[in-house]
Amino acid sequence: MDDVLREHLMTFETFFSAIGFKSRLGKVWGLLALAGKSLSAADIAKELDMSAGSVSECLSELREWGAVTSEFSSEHRCQMHSAVSDTMSIVTTVLRRREQLAVQNFKDNARSALQYVTDRYGAEDARVHTLQSIVTTSEIAEATIQFFVAASSAVPKNDESRLARVVKRMASIGMKVPGEINKFRNGRKKTGQLNGNATPAPAREEEDAHV
């Protein structure tokens, strides 16, 4: 790898660390992505000045996340490793196995706490609103993750514009969401006014801030 590309490895380390992975995973994956060819564990250790054990651990974890493929080479008489070029599949794997699970667990715990507080202290308790907000936010996060995964899976993997098509599909749906929310809000306000239960302006503003 030439010196110019080598300077970019730090960016991979920083990014992996920022999203909750070990920075050395970013360094190894970045090397494989920028090398332009398959590398052996010995090659990686030499290029990055890492121990054989550390390289082996990184490769194992990267394979687990679907970010690296390893195949035995009869020519080199060892396993050769390559970065998976379809980064969208890596992202969806991480979302399904890490973020989605974390959000689901958080939502379930908040829902359990909400039920307890409501039953013991009543629906007017200040904690009810906070816990309900957590549940609602978690449900929105789950739906967003599921949509992203489904949209990604629906686009052919051999399409060079795969990412662009997924983003456009998400954007087209996203453009409709605010309008639907406003329709719901307006309908709810009209119903309240007809029933003589119009919500005071300050309360509506506070409600909007939490949607």
Length of the chain: 211
Pair 28, 58: CB distance under 8 Å:
yes
Reading the block at residue 120, the tokens are 């013991």
The type of residue at 9 is: L
H-helix or E-strand containing 70?
strand 68-73
Residue 112 CB neighbour total at 10 angstroms? 11
Q: Helices 126-154 & 100-121, crossing angle to 10 degrees? A: 160
pLDDT tens figures, 169-209 = 665 655 555 555 555 556 655 555 555 555 444 444 444 44
- Contacts of residue 65, Cβ cutoff 8 Å, sequence gap at least 6: 90, 93, 94, 97
The answer to whether the CB of 99 falls within 8 A of the CB of 143 is: no
Instruction: Dump pLDDT digits (tens) for 118-146.
Output: 999 999 999 999 999 999 999 999 999 98
Helix axes 162-194, 126-154, angle to 10 degrees: 140
Which are the contacts of 90, defined by CB distance < 8 A and separation ≥ 6? 65, 66, 67, 84
**Could you tell me the CA-to-CA distances from 82 to 51, 86, 167 in Å, in that order?**
19, 12, 27
CATH number of this structure's domain 3-85, picked from the four choices 1.10.10.10, 3.30.70.1020, 3.40.50.620, 3.40.30.10: 1.10.10.10
- Please provide residue 198's backbone torsions phi and psi, each rounded to the nearest 5 degrees: -60, 135
Distance, in Å, from the CA atom of 58 to the CA atom of 43, rounded to the nearest integer, reads 14
Sign of the CA dihedral 26, 24, 51, 60?
Answer: negative
**pLDDT (0 to 100) of residue 87:** 86
Determine the average pLDDT of the residues in 81-91: 90
Among 13-22, 94-103, 161-170, 193-202, which stretch is predicted with the lowest mean pLDDT? Answer: 193-202
Predicted pLDDT at 53: 96
In the chain, domain spans: 3-85, 88-154
pLDDT tens column, 140-159: 999 999 888 887 776 665 55
Query: How far apart (Å, rounded) are the C-alpha atoms in residues 52 and 141?
Result: 39
What sign does the CA torsion over 138, 151, 167, 84 have? positive
Tens of pLDDT, residue by residue over 30-71, are 999 999 899 999 999 999 999 999 999 999 999 999 999 999
- Above pLDDT 90, what percent of the chain? 57
